[in-house]
Amino acid sequence: MESEHTKLLSIMKSLFANEIGCESAKTKIDALSMGEFPDLYANLHHYYDDEDIRAKDPEYRAFQNKELEKLIKHLEAGNTEKANEISFLHES
């Protein structure tokens, strides 16, 4: 059985690769307990909710996507603490 950590990583990779959209990612993540990632759960909503801003502002899109890439790297490394520090509102 896949761990929530592994499921979250898979969802984030699919989101980053544009294989799924924010609404699909949100639905999949809402099905997880996110017990390991209490801070990240709330902060992911900043990414979902800012989809329209990213579409209009290339710099903001680059910033948030860089944070998403950092999140993926932290998850791949198993660094839960660093993953929980990603906010999508400022550089972490």
Nearest to 70 by CA among 42, 51, 91, 56: 91
Give pLDDT tens digits for 1-50: 689 999 999 999 999 999 999 999 999 999 999 999 999 999 999 999 99
Domain that holds residue 62: 4-84
Give pLDDT tens digits for 43-71: 999 999 999 999 999 999 999 999 999 99
Per residue, the 3-state secondary structure of 34-85, as one string, reads CCCCHHHHHHHHHHHHCHHHHHHCHHHHHHHHHHHHHHHHHHHHCCHHHHHC
pTM for this entry: 0.94
Q: How many domains does the structure of the chain reveal?
A: 1
Is residue 36 domain-resident? yes
Is residue 92 domain-resident? no
Give the up-direction half-sphere exposure of residue 81: CA atoms within 13 A in the CB hemisphere.
Answer: 0
Is residue 90 domain-resident? no
Is residue 43 domain-resident? yes
The pLDDT value recorded for residue 2 is 81
The pLDDT value recorded for residue 37 is 93
